[in-house]
Amino acid sequence: MNLSILILLPLLTALAVLLARNNNQVRWISFAGATAQFILAFVLMYLFREERIAGSTQQMLFEQQYNWFPSWHISFHMGVDGISVAMILLTAFVVLAGVLVSWNVTKMTKEFYFLLILLSLGAYGFFISLDLFILFFFLEIAVIPKYLLIGIWGSGKKEYSANKLALMLMGGSALVLVGLLGVYFNTPARSFDLLLLSDTGISREAQMICFPLLFVGFGVFTALFPFHTWVPDGHSSAPTAGSMFLAGISMKLGGYGCLRVATLLMPEGAKAYSTWIIVLSSIAILYGAFATMMQKDLKYINAYSSVSHCGFVLLGIGMLTQTSMTGAVMQMVSHGLMTALFFAVIGMIYERTHTRQVSEMGGLLKVMPFISTVLFIVGLCSLGLPGLSGFVAEMTVFVGSWENPDPFRRVATIAACLSIVVTAVYILRAIGQTAMGPVKESYLHLTDARWNEKLAAIILIFGIVAIGTAPFWLSDLINPGTELIMQKIKMVP
Amino acid sequence: MNELLTIMKSEWVISLLIFLLLFIKLGKGMKNESLLLLIQVLLLLNFIGGFFFNTEGSLFAGMYHSTALIILQKNILSLGVYLISLLFADWFKRSEHLTEYFILMLSALLGMFFLISSGNLLMFFLALELATIPVAAMANFDLGKKISSEAAMKMILSSAFSSGILLFGISLVYGATGTINFAELPAQMNNGPLHILAFVFLFTAFAFKLSVVPFHLWTADVYEGAPMATTSFLSVLSKGAVAFIFISTLNKVFLPMQEIWYNMVMILSILTMIIGNLFALRQQNIKRFLAFSSIAQVGFILVGVSGKEPESTASVVFFILVYLFSNLAAFGVAGIISAMTGKENVNDYKGLYQTNPFLSWVLALALFSLAGIPPTAGFFGKLFLLTAGGTKASYLFITIAALNMIVSLYYYLRVIRAVFMDKNEEPVEKLVVNPSARLGLLICGAGILLTGILSWVYDYIQSLC
Amino acid sequence: MNGSTIIFYLLAALILGSGLLSVTTRQIFRAAIYLLFTLIGIAGLFFWMEYEFIAAVQIVVYVGGIVVLIIFSIFLTQQAGELLPRQKPTRQLFAALAAFCGLALTMLQVNQYTFSKTTLEATEPTVANIGRQMLDVNENGFALPFEVVSMLLLAAMIGCIVIALKSKPQTT
Amino acid sequence: MPNTTYIALIPLLPLAGFLLLGIFGRTYFKNTSGMIGTSLLLASTLLSLYTAYGYFFDYGKVNGVYQKLVPLQITWLEFSKGVSIDMGIILDPISVMMLVVVTFISLMVHIYSLAYLKGEERFPTYYAFLGLFTFSMLGLVISSNIFQIYIFWELVGVSSFLLIGYYYDRPSAVAACKKAFIVTRFADAGFLIGILILSYYSGTLDFNTLIQKLTNPESLELKAAVTASFLGISALTWGLVLVFIGGAGKSAMFPLHIWLPDAMEGPTPVSALIHAATMVVAGVFLVARLFPIFALSAPAALELVGYVGAISALIAAVIACTQTDIKRVLAYSTMSQIGYMMFALGVSKYGGEDGLGYTASMFHLFTHAMFKALLFLGAGAVIHYIHSNEMKDMGGLRKYLPITHITFLIACLAIAGVPPFAGFFSKEEILLAAYHHNTGIYYLALITSGLTAFYMFRLYFSIFWNKPAQVHGEHHGEGGFAMMMPLVLLALGAAAAGFIPFGHFVSSDGNRLNSAFHLNFSIAPVALGLAGIFFAMWLYKKQNDRPDKIAASLNGLYKAAYRKFYIDELYLFVTKKILFNLVGRPAAWFDKNVVDGLVNATGNTTEYISETIKGLQSGKVQQYAMYFLVGVIGLAVLFIYIWKF
Amino acid sequence: MMEPGLYHILFISATLFFIGVFGFFTRRNLITMLMSVELILNSVNLNFIAFNKYVWPNRLDGVFFTIFVIAIAAAEAATAIAIIINLYRSHHSIDVENAEEMKY
């Protein structure tokens, strides 16, 4: 399969959106584009599996390389392994749902969809690039759409949040940039090519410097404590689809980067700094969970819980066992779907009740059974109910983390395990106060979800349940990728 | 004699244009509109012609030399002048001294051509003056406005002072080495104290023209007071030309003093980025804002300068090209708004998007490019500068540079926010953009979008270095 | 101590003394006159160094041109017989300090450096030599700078005309 | 072994019901959903009976020992080599027994609910949830993998949550379902860590392998698990204790029992199914599942199980004596009875006669399911009639609810251990086991057994006697066939189940265990039980002020018991005061003010500096030149004198 | 006193240079500032001639430099004066302290 289609398709969609004549056209074009991308993602997965079953053992499949800035040894190098395929699938899900959920955005519709699709373009590009330069290119491409989405279509203190988000993410990518340059100049190859770099290796001294730069840099995207403060504000101010993309896709860029770039290229660094990663991510998990408990705004609840959940991603990476890394990737996918759904639901509720304060709602189950049911599902997924994706991912991380007998890691794992209790507390509080309880008089006339919202929710729920009930397809997809990283780590003395 | 014509072709063309304009002026028969159109066409022809019939070589015993890279640099500058003639059409049309303005501008351009072709210190000095004094006059072309004269005064006095410093430095170099030829100098230079002193004098003159902190203080005032066209000429072309000669001088003439200038560049680069950013943070006037932002940009250029050849030259030239598009687009939009409404404050831009989406998008693109956001060319430009700097630099230096990008993003976003997000009861009214200005903005926009992505632009530049 | 030396020191005293006065006096005409003296002193020094042509140029251009220009502009801009405003003492102090530091630094470095005269054959600074080289395009020729300067003067002239001669006084 | 994959259908049929009714119920099966759910479950029940028959009488026994059969196992998620979650079915005596119990009780509840919840708006949802619960519970009991059990464990928890919160618009129900979920969740975290420990040392998650590895004294895994220690306790013990915490949470053992009484907010049939007969015994089942490891490798952990069970049994019984809400009384009684089962396991040994406790525990589980479900359903009938849970609103109902009255009485006799009802047999075995192995527990159990009889008959008399009969409006009788049939069937079970020779089928090691009947031994508990009954009769048969007087004389104790020994308050204190105020609030504050504050401070500092240095740009060209010169001198000095090359 | 030579002239020129600089820093009248600039440029001329005479008589670089510097000085002075006059027109003052409308 030609991977450039993955980039070209959103690009064309975006252009088509620009050329569209009215809002309806914009919507349908975006929807068509997102659907095509969705199908494409599945096709990609199918072809990928076929290749693997056919016995292809290459690290990356469907590799393609075009020269781009040959003087810097930059090439447009694309390729996917299971991890990327998983992330691409995630992106496709979230994008499609996001497009559907935004169906009745009336303010500057064209621009809105254009930016959404641009964002997805960034994500797709990021996940398929095998050249660090391009990776970085796509990483940054997504920052401004986020800024504008929040700033223009957001709510609350949107300018502040948008600024904070853009600046912190830029800060992260600035560190990434320095790290990348460090990598670039510390290999004999003078190359940005991921595969080449991972083959040639980087000197230990350079790893000691570049690993933290890259990890923290990418970590900012994944809400690494204490660089997570853009998350609550950014997510809560963003429009629905914006939050979905932010939490569902954008935060995953960081996790993917931590794994694919930082850890794969610099196993020694990863090993040396794993203690720090674990400390920070455990703090994020627990602290995020406790902070969530005190939130009163639904979006803040989900945003802080994202901090906590993304902590699992980093924890999984930091534990440096294959299972934990697989778990980290699964957690990325799972959290992406789940949090996107959560934000979608919050958006639906907000659109109807015009409040996001938990205390002001009640009994929504009565007036909007569909939306409330989705809220239940996503809440249960968030607290790790078996059969939904969250459980699978978290358990994989736990089991993986436990594989390392070091007492310190044990303690961290136990701390992480305990967070599931706190998660239950805040999720149930949120659900209990919104969906359950006596219904408010003024809500009685409210309506349930429309077709587009239902479709969006169903798509995401499908993803969540598919992972939750049949996780093996996902883990089979991911495992070879993490295995390779593990091999690198194991070679470190 | 034929050689004299071909090698110095671009200078000849510009001189011809100057004289042509002089004749037109003396003839006194044309309306501003048609005259402007004529000038635009001529400048376009000049730009296009710049790509043909080029000969490399050196003349006047090495006093003048031309290489493919220099020709490219000249073409970039020609393009800049052409764009300026397009973008500020509104202002030009109302100007009483259109011809004179262009004569001065072309003289300055001629000075820049000589500057980047110069092969000895005398030529360098003269060309520098030729590229400066007319610009000072150009700064005063808003004749009725006090700040315009103030700006011109600040510029001419400061540059006279800096010329004095430069000349003193040149005299010391001359005294110490006995030559003023670039070709002979490297053999004579060393790290002796007097050489360092002389070099510092010379270096600061460059720094002054490039507005490197702490030699930058004239910049903002002059930018603010001068007419928009002059400001953009100053900020893009003057800076570009000086940067071109700066990097080639450092790498050719002062090669023996490499460690010294490397560290000097590094220190000043950090200072420039930080100070430029800090000042840009709190500017309200869009020109002043762009002035400080361009100071910060110079800090980045210096990062590229500090690198190893040929990457450093290539990245700097590429960045100047990108910067030309971006900054001209920004100034172009600001110029259109200023010419039509007289509004120059960032706050006046609030709600611009509702009334003028085209201008807003171009402005946004330009600012993103300046901030180094993909997929604009500015991203590539900045990245290549940093990478070029990385060939030599320490992590700390690059990290500081990268972190400064955040601060700069902050203030660029401030404008973006005003344009796209802030509500305004009385936004700038819907403007009818002059077609030529529109063309100019479109060219800039296309340049911003394409220069980076089409990698052959950079590769072409790199191949010349 | 011979006559040449005495003349040198006299010239030096003239140059520096009137130079200093020219930047310190509070009467602007006097400042211009002191400047004139300095310039003449420098011309004298050129004579002393046997660079007659340069001395002549100095006198023609500077004394005949620039100083006259300056005096004219003083006429144009100066209100009747006012003393020049005094600069703030702190500024004066810092300026003096900075200038002195610069001077000290420069002299220190210059004096530490041994300028050794070249052994190559000398080219006499005669008018003939200068004139020939000025228009020569080959080795040691300065035709190109000459052209550049002429362009510069042209541009400056045009600029001056536009700015100085023709403007509607608007005080906004 | 014959092909037994059809067993998978047993849990899958209810699941199908859940999906069908959950997704389409509201639109398509508004009225028929009850029948759909019931018939699916009926199929399930028949299948499990068939399975039980097949297992116990056909292929289950090899050489006189009941085998652990795994007819189906698929890898669901592989973590690493050997460590994988397998979805499978394990057939052994307890799982088969549980299959029968769960499907049977669930079927009864399904039928009962047809009438009980008739006309409810969320009728389809209710049946969907019931289906989900049954699926989860069945999945739990047939789990072949410790992680699988955890998965279904959680699912059971959530279906319990959903069912308790069925009346979602009642704040008390919402609070109750949250409480139930969170408390059990807390315990589950322990379970999870326990699983992690066990799986790490054994290198597997599969029950059979796990048990094999951790009970074989020769195996390296066991040695590693025993030698590794934390706080002086071996890793294995830790693991098992943590697993037991999970079990204790679900089984409402002290001190994790606080959710159970509140869970009575759910519809009464649900209480019967989940909080009496099936789910709450999951903890017992879990311990039984891992019993070989407990008994053979970590007796200390088993001892803990015993004490926790005994204490829970006693405390619950005491509290039950004071409660006035009939469902709460039943809830505490449930807790007390589960305590019995727990300590029965705790006092048991592995294999042979010493394994009596194990058998007794399972036996009691079995009988308890019958009579407790019956009690709840009976209580449901009463509530259905009275529309109140409070004892004071009841009295003299025996005339109006004759069938309910009789069946309730049977159940009360059964639970009080009056021969020849089912409870008698199982309880005797438990007491016997305790007597042999731990006399302390035995005496606790004995007291509890007396108390049990007392509070059950207090309940019985308060409902059916006490006050003179009152007519409660124009009433609909006892609720019809759908409600009465389960009562009768269960009453039959409660009366007769004791005669099943349970030891023949279920024992700790699969061998046949002949339970001898010791008449002498039975005298004490039966006497105590009868004493309790008569005391209750004396106090409550007629309306009088004796109970109040006694309550007053026992003021402190009574009040403490009435307030459930303030355990709820303690929890409230821990969660609200400590977790929320001392952890959550500071964390949120810290985030907002310190972490975020730092971010903002960076911005503000930058702006501040920017404001401070604006004087550099003074607008005075002379000053600019001065800075210029200073820059020149500075650079020159720096590079000539300081930074030399 | 010593025989006057290169270093003497260099001293004179350097001193003159910094006198000019001092004047540039302290004079408030724009025309006097311009005069200071002339001093600076002249001092440089002295340098060039002195170097040409005492160190590098082989070529006339210094001489030519001086000539061109004089020319430039003229152009610069002319432009500056034009600007100053213009400023005076709009401003009625050529005090540099009054020309600081743009700052910060």
Q: What is the model's pLDDT at position D31?
A: 78
The residue of D620, D630, D641 whose CB has the most chain C CBs within 10 angstroms, and thus the best one to mutate to test that interface, is: D630
Subunit contact B168:E24, Cβ cutoff 8 A? no
DSSP D391: G
User: Is residue B387 predicted with pLDDT exceeding 50?
Assistant: yes
Q: What is the model's pLDDT at position D614?
A: 86
Strands B57-59 and B64-66: antiparallel
User: Is residue C172 predicted with pLDDT exceeding 60?
Assistant: no
Average per-residue pLDDT for chain B: 90
The percentage of residues in chain D with a pLDDT greater than 90, rounded to a whole number, is 2
Subunit contact A171:B399, Cβ cutoff 8 A? no
pLDDT in tens, A234-269: 888 889 888 898 888 888 999 999 988 888 888 888
Q: Among the listed ranges D130-139, D394-403, D617-626, E13-22, which one has the minimum average pLDDT value?
A: D394-403
Token digits for A211? 């690993």
Note the helical H segments in D203-234.
Answer: 207-215, 220-227
Q: What is the model's pLDDT at position C169?
A: 47
Q: What are the structural domain ranges in chain A? A: 4-490
Residues in chain C within 8 Å Cβ distance of E101? none
Residues in chain E within 8 Å Cβ distance of C20? 19
Residues in chain C within 8 Å Cβ distance of B191? none
Contact by Cβ (8 Å): D503, D513: yes
Q: Consecutive 10-residue runs of chain A (493 residues): their mean pLDDT?
A: 87 91 90 92 90 83 87 89 90 92 87 90 91 90 88 87 89 90 84 86 87 91 87 88 89 90 89 90 88 87 89 90 90 91 90 85 84 89 87 88 84 87 87 83 82 90 90 86 87 80
Facing residues of D62 across strands? D65
Q: Is D618's Cβ below 8 Å from some Cβ in E? A: yes
Confidence of residue C165 (pLDDT cuts 50, 70, 90): confident
Q: Among the listed ranges A323-332, B257-266, D454-463, which one has the minimum average pLDDT value?
A: D454-463
Q: What is the model's pLDDT at position C171?
A: 43
Task: Please give, rounded to a whole number of angstroms, the shortest distance from the CA of D640 to a CA of chain C.
Answer: 10
Rg of the Cα atoms in chain D: 30
B and C in touch (3+ CB pairs within 8 angstroms) = yes
Q: What are the structural domain ranges in chain B? A: 2-464
pLDDT in tens, D214-262: 888 788 777 777 777 777 778 888 888 888 888 888 888 888 888 888 8
Nearest to residue A135, comparing CAs of A207, A218, A234? A218
Q: What is the model's pLDDT at position B188?
A: 87
- Within chain E, which residues score under 70 in pLDDT? 1-2
pLDDT in tens, D507-560: 777 777 776 666 677 777 788 888 888 887 777 777 777 777 777 777 777 777
| Identity of the highest mean pLDDT range in B263-277, B382-396, D79-93 | B263-277
Q: What are the structural domain ranges in chain E? A: 29-92
The residue of C1, C39, C51 whose CB has the most chain E CBs within 10 angstroms, and thus the best one to mutate to test that interface, is: C51
Residues in chain E within 8 Å Cβ distance of B126? 68, 72
- Select from C91, C94, C105 the Cβ nearest to the Cβ of D633: C105
Which residues lie closer than 8 Å to C112 by C-beta, 6 or more apart?
A: B193, B194
Subunit contact A184:B390, Cβ cutoff 8 A? yes
Sign for the CA dihedral angle at D525, D531, D535, D540 comes to positive
> Phi then psi for A439, rounded to 5 degrees?
-80, 145
Buried b (16+ CB within 10 A) or exposed e, D427-437: bbbbbbbbbbb
Q: Is B180's Cβ below 8 Å from some Cβ in E? A: yes
pLDDT in tens, D359-402: 888 888 888 888 888 888 888 888 877 777 777 777 777 777 77
pLDDT in tens, A475-493: 888 888 888 888 888 888 7
Considering the entire predicted model, what is its pTM?
Answer: 0.90
User: Is residue D83 predicted with pLDDT exceeding 50?
Assistant: yes
In chain A, which residue's Cα lies nearest the Cα of B458?
A69
Q: What is the model's pLDDT at position D469?
A: 61
pLDDT in tens, C121-150: 888 888 888 888 888 887 778 888 988 999
Q: What is the model's pLDDT at position D478?
A: 67
In chain D, which residue's Cα lies nearest the Cα of B222?
D619
What are the angstrom distances between the C-alpha of D381 and each of B167, C84, D114, D541, D640? 109, 111, 13, 21, 102
- Select from B165, B220, B267 the Cβ nearest to the Cβ of D632: B165
Q: What is the model's pLDDT at position B116?
A: 93
C-alpha span between D411 and E96 (Å, rounded): 108
User: Is residue D275 predicted with pLDDT exceeding 50?
Assistant: yes
In chain E, which residue's Cα lies nearest the Cα of D612?
E104
Average per-residue pLDDT for chain C: 86
C and A in touch (3+ CB pairs within 8 angstroms) = no
**Section B216-239 average pLDDT:** 92
Q: Is D633's Cβ below 8 Å from some Cβ in C? A: yes
- Quick one: B1 exposed, middle or buried, by C-beta within 10 A (0-12, 13-18, 19+)? exposed
> Phi then psi for A415, rounded to 5 degrees?
-60, -45
Average per-residue pLDDT for chain D: 82
Chain E segment 53-92 residues within 8 A of C by beta carbon are 53-60, 63-64, 66-68, 70-79, 81-86, 88-92
C-alpha span between A467 and A460 (Å, rounded): 11
Q: Tell me the CATH number of domain C1-84, given options 1.10.260.40, 3.20.20.210, 1.20.1250.20, 1.20.120.1200.
A: 1.20.120.1200
Subunit contact A167:B409, Cβ cutoff 8 A? yes
Q: Is B165's Cβ below 8 Å from some Cβ in C? A: no
Residues in chain B within 8 Å Cβ distance of A143? 373
C-alpha span between B170 and C168 (Å, rounded): 41
Residues in chain A within 8 Å Cβ distance of D76? 470-472
Nearest to residue D390, comparing CAs of D328, D332, D333, D325? D325
- Quick one: B439 exposed, middle or buried, by C-beta within 10 A (0-12, 13-18, 19+)? middle
pLDDT in tens, B277-320: 999 988 889 999 999 999 999 999 999 999 888 889 999 999 99
Q: Is C151's Cβ below 8 Å from some Cβ in B? A: yes
Task: Please give, rounded to a whole number of angstroms, the shortest distance from the CA of C98 to a CA of chain D.
Answer: 7
CB pairs under 8 A between C and E: 235
What are the angstrom distances between the C-alpha of B85 and each of B10, B52, B107? 18, 22, 15
Task: Please give, rounded to a whole number of angstroms, the shortest distance from the CA of B227 to a CA of chain E.
Answer: 14
Q: What is the model's pLDDT at position B421?
A: 86
Residues in chain B within 8 Å Cβ distance of D610? 278-279, 281-282
Q: What are the structural domain ranges in chain C? A: 1-84, 124-172
Residues in chain E within 8 Å Cβ distance of D632? none
User: Is residue D473 predicted with pLDDT exceeding 60?
Assistant: no
